[in-house]
Structure 1
Amino acid sequence: MLILLVTLFSAFCGASAGLLQEKACYGSKVKLPDKINPPLNKGLLYFTPSNGGERKILMEDGKAKDPRLKVSLISVRLTDLTKKDEGVYAVLLNGKDFLVLQLKVLDCAQKISRFYMQDLEYTISEKARYLEYSAPDNQNVTLTLWNRTDTLNNDDRRGNVERNVWRITRVTQADNGYYNFRRRDRSLDSRILLTVNENTYYYDPKVNGRLLITNPWTGGPWTVMFKQDTEDEKMRVMKDGRLYRDYNQFTGRIDVLSNGIEIDPVKTLDSGTFEFRDKQGNLALSAKVEVIHASHHATTYMVVAAVALLLGLCCCYCCCCRKRCCKKDKSAAGATEGHAVTYHETNEPTGPSYSNQPYPSVYHPQPVNSPAFTEPTAVAIEPPPSQPNTTVYPPQPTNVNPPQPEFSLYPPLSEIGPSSSQGFAAAPTFSSEVFSSDAEPRFQLKGVAFPSAPPLSSDAPTSAVYYSDKLNFLGTSC
């Protein structure tokens, strides 16, 4: 039993080991394997069609049995391939069949499309001598339309050739098919597949409205068939330009005009496709109708209004957020800029350089505790040359808590010292108690005396400080 299985397996592998698969275009040629050449093979060459036809002999004792099979001492070729040559080729050796080639024929034709009643022009080569036609569903049957050397027998039903230009006027579906231009030896020069399509119109009438479907621009009289979108069967509406008298859904609502057919009023069941065909049955026009209800328009308007409202709300929200952000940025920038006091350079003596901390609104004639400066410096203010260089200390105040001004950055000059006629009074000495409880550097001012500021923890009444360039009198002359 094992020996029998091995024998069958070897025979099967031997029969299929040399199988070659080839693909070739229609009208071309294919070379068979060298193992079947006449010097090596004197047996039979068989062909089995892939469509299930009968097996036939192509070569016997090195001689061809088909005129398209070209046999020589070095090769075997099959020329002018057609769809019927698709199948399996095998040789008979020692009483056994050995598969050598599996062939598949491809359709490599040039595809050309036209609409109903359009014209076609195609330039051919000077080597073309014949024009053959075959229907798209039966390529095995061919019809010779044109012969360059025998123009009297040409068939003009599907065009003619003049000066190497092939023309067909007003094509229809009857012209669909394959057109083969062959040379003198009947070999294929070029191949064309022509497809003619119908024109398509679209209509969207409203319920209870009027619908006019125009006829194709040429041809007729027309036979009209109607098919609903939800049905598979077609309904005859018009035949050879006249309304079909049998009762149908269009009875009493349809009329034939000079330029088409009119349906009034339109109903929901009228949604579908109207087909216009000529006397030969060629499809010239497909009119696709979609009836629209009034509710569809209302729904569309509501959706558009809702989208517009939503977009408006989004825009308003974005604008409000942008305004708030701008206000916050401006407030933060104003607060930052308000604390910075700029002292302009003048010819008059200036006071010490202060930090950017807010200046207290009330000053006392005697120094009290106040926050320390980050980097205190001592600046001496010299009097004018005409005055003696003397240092005058302000008198001690008799009232510790004098009445405070309601809104002032500096006290009046009467509290600072004597009038300008008596010379410039020296500024009070700022001790360590003025700025911090810890030991800090001391500095003393000469010139105009400024009262010290009360401590931040003082219980004395204070008012809000208004920062403005108008109060910066240090940058202006008196």
Structure 2
Amino acid sequence: MLLLLVSVSSVFVGSSADVSYENLCYGRSLNFPFDYAPPVFHGMLFFTPSNGGPRKLMMNNAEAKDPRLKVNYGSVRLTDLTERDEGTFSISLDGDRLYSIVKLTIADCATQINRHYGDMYESNIPRKAQFLEFTPLGNLDTSEVLWNRSYPQTNKGGRVQVKRNMWEIYNLNQADNGYYNFRGSDNTLLSRIQLLIQEHYRHFDAKVKKLLYIKYPVDYAWTWLAFTPEGKTVNEILMDGQDVESGRLLRPGRFNGRIELLQNGLEINPVESTDSGTFSFRDQHGNLVFTVKVEVMSEFIPASVYVPIIAVIIIVVIVCCCYVRYRLRDTNPSASYSAAPPTSAFSNQSTEPTATSLGPTVYSPVNIHMSSPKPEAAVQGDQGEPSAPSVGSDWLSSGPEPKFDVKGLTFPSAGPLSSESTFSDVYTSDKLNFL
């Protein structure tokens, strides 16, 4: 009855399995769900790599088929994960139909260390470390043991030196690029670094028809020199295996008659416009020691350089002119009004007759620029009369408003707005008796 229950449970679990996505660091372990461990699961566990490799049987009937797979009562664990473990894990109950349960990706969690050609690197050795393993960057399937605590005699003569709890590696070059893993006695990963070695680099600006001197590191022996013109990928080999101190080039090529190897550097005289590019110096093993980028400056400044300069000058001139004009107007505000003729409040009066309710038609004269306000002291008997409107000009406020009598036409002294006034001044002149 128990076996039947286990079998039914297995079928149910396998048919309703959900895919789990896992992203783990290199060297860690993958723990499978409890449902796929004995005594619940007794089927087959497969692995299909993501790189397109063949499918592999990992476990069958609770028996591990891979030495890194640890099968225990209630747990299944895959240890020491590497890049080769990226892919899909699936189960099968009958050996035919597969159900995906885990999709695994491996993350590179190593500490990255950058050094230059010829440098040294040193670090502490973990307390529980048993050996140091090196995996070249270009060949992850190959590993080499550089140090083993149990066999110290094998640590002599190599480039890796161990002193007490420190390890050192000298004269680094690109062959040392890779991963350095310290592992325990059970192969457990304790620490991991990625070492990257870069060449020395310099940049030079050169001028046409001038001398260019390139000083290179004399501490590092190099026997191979090549030039890559700017914009191209094909190297032009200038020296291959020749003695640097001899000053001879294998194939000077475009630099024929203009290039010379000195004890501490490389001299080009005179420089030509086609000399822009990259010089590469390598040692006898092909490791890149030194890279020099040369950029030849043109002898003549192109016309495109002058365009923005001229534009800036024009803008500055316009701004200065506008500023000067603004300052002149700000210091002499009346200048903009000096040419305008004076105007009067009465210059726009119409000559058309105006009808009033006090009597006959009154004609208003045109362009008479005179007005006389009421005297400050009113004539006796006129205390109750309202004052006539006044204008602020002093020369118009010296006397009473004049009155003209022309053949019965009377100009009242009251303004248009004082129609109820009965007081008037009469001025009679023989000069106006023309009717």
> Normalised by the size of structure 1, how large is the TM-score?
0.64
Query: Using a 3 Å threshold, how does the CA distance of structure 1 residues 378 and 122 change in structure 2: closer, same or farther?
Result: farther
- Aligned pairs (5 A) from 1:331-346: 331-332=332-333
1:23 match: 23
2:255 match: 250
2:357 match: none
- Aligned pairs (5 A) from 1:140-289: 140-154=141-155, 157-162=158-163, 164-239=165-240, 240=242, 241=244, 242=246, 243-246=248-251, 248-289=253-294
- Aligned pairs (5 A) from 1:315-354: 315-332=316-333
1:347 match: none
- Aligned pairs (5 A) from 1:390-409: none
1:303 match: 305
Query: Using a 3 Å threshold, how does the CA distance of structure 1 residues 206 and 247 change in structure 2: closer, same or farther?
Result: closer
Gaps of 5+ in 1: 1-10, 337-355, 358-367, 382-408, 412-425, 443-478
Deviation at 1:166, TM superposition (A): 3.6
CA distances 1:166-225 after superposition (whole Å, capped 9, x unpaired): 433332111100011222322111211111111222223222322222222421143111
1:344 match: none
Is 1:58 matched with 2:67?
Answer: no
Aligned counterpart in structure 1 of residue 299 of structure 2, from 283, 294, 301: 294
Whether the aligned pair in 1 keeps the contact of 2:44 and 2:59 (CA below 8 Å) is yes
1:116 match: 117
Q: Distance in 2 between matches of 1:41 and 1:235?
A: 65
Whether the aligned pair in 1 keeps the contact of 2:135 and 2:180 (CA below 8 Å) is yes
Query: Using a 3 Å threshold, how does the CA distance of structure 1 residues 62 and 314 change in structure 2: closer, same or farther?
Result: closer
2:103 match: 102
CA distances 1:137-189 after superposition (whole Å, capped 9, x unpaired): 22222111123444332266453344544433332111100011222322111
CA distances 1:274-327 after superposition (whole Å, capped 9, x unpaired): 1001122110111122223323xx327x835x5445434433322322232333
> Normalised by the size of structure 2, how large is the TM-score?
0.70
Aligned-partner SS, 1:152 = helix
2:39 match: 39
Query: Using a 3 Å threshold, how does the CA distance of structure 1 residues 268 and 41 change in structure 2: closer, same or farther?
Result: same
Query: Using a 3 Å threshold, how does the CA distance of structure 1 residues 17 and 211 change in structure 2: closer, same or farther?
Result: same
Deviation at 1:122, TM superposition (A): 3.2
Q: Distance in 2 between matches of 1:428 and 1:88?
A: 118
Identical positions, percent: 36
Q: Distance in 1 between matches of 2:417 and 2:49?
A: 117
Q: Distance in 2 between matches of 1:244 and 1:196?
A: 28
Q: Distance in 1 between matches of 2:50 and 2:226?
A: 40
Aligned-partner SS, 1:227 = strand
CA distances 1:385-413 after superposition (whole Å, capped 9, x unpaired): xxxxxxxxxxxxxxxxxxxxxxxx979xx
Whether the aligned pair in 1 keeps the contact of 2:224 and 2:283 (CA below 8 Å) is yes
Aligned-partner SS, 1:269 = helix
**Number of residue-to-residue matches in the alignment:** 356
1:81 match: 81
Query: Using a 3 Å threshold, how does the CA distance of structure 1 residues 434 and 326 change in structure 2: closer, same or farther?
Result: farther
Query: Using a 3 Å threshold, how does the CA distance of structure 1 residues 439 and 17 change in structure 2: closer, same or farther?
Result: closer
Whether the aligned pair in 1 keeps the contact of 2:117 and 2:172 (CA below 8 Å) is yes
Whether the aligned pair in 1 keeps the contact of 2:374 and 2:399 (CA below 8 Å) is no
2:360 match: none
Deviation at 1:134, TM superposition (A): 0.4
Query: Using a 3 Å threshold, how does the CA distance of structure 1 residues 61 and 256 change in structure 2: closer, same or farther?
Result: same
Q: Distance in 1 between matches of 2:159 and 2:374?
A: 112
Aligned-partner SS, 1:205 = strand
1:365 match: none
Aligned-partner SS, 1:303 = helix
Aligned-partner SS, 2:293 = strand
Deviation at 1:75, TM superposition (A): 1.3
RMSD: 3.8
Query: Using a 3 Å threshold, how does the CA distance of structure 1 residues 259 and 65 change in structure 2: closer, same or farther?
Result: same
Query: Using a 3 Å threshold, how does the CA distance of structure 1 residues 332 and 378 change in structure 2: closer, same or farther?
Result: farther
Q: Distance in 2 between matches of 1:198 and 1:436?
A: 108
Deviation at 1:22, TM superposition (A): 2.3
Query: Using a 3 Å threshold, how does the CA distance of structure 1 residues 148 and 332 change in structure 2: closer, same or farther?
Result: same
Query: Using a 3 Å threshold, how does the CA distance of structure 1 residues 317 and 246 change in structure 2: closer, same or farther?
Result: closer
Whether the aligned pair in 1 keeps the contact of 2:182 and 2:190 (CA below 8 Å) is yes
Query: Using a 3 Å threshold, how does the CA distance of structure 1 residues 132 and 16 change in structure 2: closer, same or farther?
Result: farther
Whether the aligned pair in 1 keeps the contact of 2:226 and 2:238 (CA below 8 Å) is yes
Aligned-partner SS, 2:42 = coil
Q: Distance in 2 between matches of 1:59 and 1:96?
A: 15
Query: Using a 3 Å threshold, how does the CA distance of structure 1 residues 86 and 436 change in structure 2: closer, same or farther?
Result: same
Aligned-partner SS, 1:290 = strand
Whether the aligned pair in 2 keeps the contact of 1:146 and 1:155 (CA below 8 Å) is no
2:41 maps to a residue whose letter is N
1:394 match: none
Query: Using a 3 Å threshold, how does the CA distance of structure 1 residues 132 and 325 change in structure 2: closer, same or farther?
Result: same
Query: Using a 3 Å threshold, how does the CA distance of structure 1 residues 103 and 155 change in structure 2: closer, same or farther?
Result: farther
2:400 maps to a residue whose letter is T
Q: Distance in 1 between matches of 2:375 and 2:132?
A: 116
Aligned-partner SS, 1:429 = coil
Q: Distance in 2 between matches of 1:316 and 1:140?
A: 71
CA distances 1:84-114 after superposition (whole Å, capped 9, x unpaired): 2223323331342423333222222121212
- Aligned pairs (5 A) from 1:358-437: 370=369, 379=376, 428-430=399-401
Q: Distance in 1 between matches of 2:50 and 2:334?
A: 89
Whether the aligned pair in 1 keeps the contact of 2:86 and 2:106 (CA below 8 Å) is yes
Deviation at 1:330, TM superposition (A): 4.1
Q: Distance in 2 between matches of 1:292 and 1:317?
A: 34
Whether the aligned pair in 2 keeps the contact of 1:372 and 1:436 (CA below 8 Å) is no
Whether the aligned pair in 1 keeps the contact of 2:112 and 2:194 (CA below 8 Å) is yes
103-112 vs 193-202, which deviates more? 103-112
Q: Distance in 2 between matches of 1:94 and 1:72?
A: 22
